[in-house]
Chains A and B, each alone.
Chain A
Amino acid sequence: MHMADALISPAVGGAAWVATVGIAAYSLRRSKADIDDKKIPLMGVMAAFVFAAQMINFSIPGTGSSGHLGGGLLLAAILGPYAGFIAMGSVLAVQALFFADGGLLAYGCNVFNLGFFTCFIAYPLVYRKIAGDGASKARNFAAAMLAAALGLQAGAFGVVLETLLSGKTELPFGAFVALMQPIHLAIGLVEGLVTAAVIAYVRKVSPALLHGYGEPIPAGRANGGRKVVLGLAVAAAAIGIFMSWFASANPDGLEWAMERTSGGAELEAEGRAHEAAAGIQSATAFLPDYGFRPSSAEGATAVTGDDATAAQDETEGTAEAWPSVNAGTSLSGVVGGAMALGLSALAGLAVFAARRKGERSRSA
C-alpha cells in the first residue's frame, strides 16, 4: 500500500503533499483544543502501535501475496479523526525514513491514502453512524468491519489513480484495479477484525479513553473559518491533480496513441505517427526525456534531422517502422550511461581512499 518514489511523478507527489499539508494544518487547528499532557503520550503510543502493526506482514490465503494493516481507523477511533490523521502522518514519516517503506516524494500520497480516507471518510461517515453510542457489541463489530474495508478500498483506489496519473508505468487501469481492490478487501477484513477486537477491549476496560478522545469536538467549538481551510485544502488537491494530469498525461496520451497507431495499421499510420513524434521531439529537444536519446550534434557519425527523429521514434517504441536508425547514436547513450556510473563509483572510491589516508596520517 505504501507508494514508492520510483513510481511517482513530481507533479502528482507535489499535489498530494500540498493536500496532505493542508489537511494536517486543519487537523492541528481542530485538535489543538483537546490535546493535553495526557493525549500527547497517547498519540505517541498509538502511532508506535500502528507503526509496529504495519511492520507485520500476514499472508493472504489464495492470492500468494501478503499485506499489512493500515491502522487509520484504529487511530481515528481512539484519538479522534484529527489527532488520528496527525499520528498517521508521523507513522508514515518514520516508515519512509527508517524502513524505506514508502518514498519521501510519495509521502503525501501515502498519508492521503492511508489517513484521509480512514479518518475523514470511513470513520465519521461509516463507523460513527453504524456504531452509534457504542452500546451494542454487534453494531460496533459491524461498524469496524465495514469502515475498515471501505477505508482501505478507497486508499487502494487512490494508489491506482496516483500511479496511473504519474505515468511511470503502463499498467492498464482495469488490470491494476483488479489487482489492488480484492487484495485490499482481504486486508480490510483482517483490519476490521483487529480494530473491532482492540476497541471492544479498550471500551470494556478503559472506556474513558474512547469517550474522552474518540469523540470529535462539536462543530460549534471550532470557528467557521476552519471550514474554509479544509475547503482550500480540497481545492488545492483537486487543482494539483488536475494540473498533474496535464503535466504528465498529455505527452503520454500522445505517446500512447502513437504506439497504438504504429502497432496497428502500419503503413497508413506511419505518416501520422511520424508527425506526432516529430512534434514531441521539437517540444522536448532540450530535455533528456529519454535516456537513450540520440543527439544531432554527433561528431563523426552525424545524424541527419530525419534520422534523429527516427531515432527518437525508436525510443518511443516504433523501431520496426524505421529500421534505418543509426545504432551508434543509441550505443553512445548506453556506453555513456555505463561510463557515468563507473565514474561515479570511481569518485566514491577516490573520496573513500582520501579519507582513509587522512585518518591514517592523523593517527600516525
Chain B
Amino acid sequence: MRDPSRALAAFYSIDALARRHSPVHDRHPVALCATTAAFVVTAASFGRRDVSALLPLFLYPFVTLALSGLRPAELLGRVVAASPAILAIAALSPIFERAPVRVGPWILASGWLSCASIALKLALTVSAAFLLVATAGMGGVARGLRAARLPKLVVLVFQMTYRYVALLLSEVSGMARAHELRAGPRKGVGKTLWGPMLGGLLLRSYDRAGRVHDAMAMRGFDGEYRSGRDGPFGGLDAAYCTAWSAFFAAARFLDISGALGRAAGFIARGAAS
C-alpha cells in the first residue's frame, strides 16, 4: 500500500500483455471467450478421480502459451498464487477417501486420485482464465460480454471496477501520506480512525470518480468503449474456436491417454520380441 505505483503496475501488467500481437492475440475476443468457456466446462466435467484422462487437455494451455508468446513464468506464478486454499481442501481427500486403489504397479488410497484430479483441474482452469485476459485483455473480455448481449450498464460497471482500482489506490496513497505527516511519531492508523479513514477514502474516491465520469461524458462517452480493434468475426476466428472445441470434445469422450499407453505398450512389446 505504501508504494501504490508498484501495486498498480502489478495489477495492470496483465492488461499490458494483451496489447501484443500474435496468432492468439489477433483472434476476435468472442472466439477467445467462447474457447475459454468450452475449455473450463470440459475440464470441470471430468469425474472426481480422473487423472490421466485430464492430461491431454494440457495441450491447450501449452500451445496457446507458445502461440501467444507469453512467458510460462507468468502463467506459473498465477497458478501458484491461486492454489493454496483449494489445495488445502484437496489435501483432505486422502484422509477421507481411504479405499485402496491400484495405479499401475502402486497401491494408493483413492483420495490421492481425487487430490491429484483437483490439483490438475485447478492448474487447467486457472491457466485458461489467465490466457483469456492475457490475450483478449480487459477490453476484449468486455467486447465478448457485449457480444453475448449483456446490458451496457453491467459491462460498464465491470470495466469501472477494474479501472477505478487505480483511482482508489492513488487516494489511498494521498491519505496515507497526509496521516503520516500529521501523526508525528505514532505508527499505524489507530482503531478510532478506521471508520473515518475508510469512509473518507470512499467519499474522496467517489468525488473524484464523479469528476472523471463528468469529464468523459462531456467528451461524448456513452458507456461504450471503442478500442479500435473491433474487426469482424472472421473465418480464422471460427476455425480457431471450432478446432479447439473439437479437441476438447475428443479429449472428453475418447480415451486419448489410454490409447497412447496401449500404443506404447504394443511398441515396447514389439521391440522386446
Contacts and interface: CB of A to CB of B under 8 A. Distances in A.
A19 to B, nearest CB: 16
A337 B265 contact: no
Contact of B14 (A41, A98, A318): A98
A88 to B, nearest CB: 10
A205 B128 contact: no
Contacts of A228: none
B102 A314 contact: yes
Contacts of A94: 158, 161-162
| Interface size band for A | 35 or more
A300 B266 contact: yes
Contacts of B50: 288-291
Contacts of A182: none
B54 A291 contact: yes
Interface in B181-229: 194-196, 198-203, 205-206, 209-210, 212-214, 217
Given A43-B157, A169-B93, A291-B52, A355 B66 contact: yes
A274 B195 CA distance: 64
Contacts of B97: 170, 317
Contact of B55 (A49, A196, A199, A338): A338
Nearest to A46: B202
A333 B160 contact: no
A201 B194 CA distance: 10
A351 interface: yes
A319 B107 contact: yes
A202 B197 CA distance: 11
A8 B44 contact: yes
Contact of B160 (A44, A100, A199, A319): A44
A301 interface: yes
A220 interface: no
A345 B198 CA distance: 48
Contacts of B36: 104
A262 B99 contact: yes
A349 B66 contact: yes
A194 B194 contact: yes
A295 B101 contact: no
A327 B45 CA distance: 27
Given A8-B44, A103-B125, A320-B100, A295 B202 contact: no
A44 B258 contact: no
A336 B160 contact: no
Given A10-B41, A94-B161, A291-B117, A170 B96 contact: yes
A100 B129 contact: yes
Given A45-B206, A330-B102, 16 more contacts: A6-B121, A13-B44, A28-B154, A44-B209, A90-B160, A168-B48, A169-B93, A197-B194, A291-B52, A291-B117, A295-B262, A315-B113, A319-B100, A319-B107, A330-B103, A335-B104
For the complex of A and B, 4 pairs with smallest distance between CB atoms = A337-B52, A336-B261, A317-B99, A201-B199
15 contacts: A6-B122, A35-B153, A37-B214, A37-B217, A43-B157, A78-B202, A104-B40, A169-B96, A199-B199, A205-B203, A286-B253, A315-B49, A317-B110, A331-B265, A355-B66
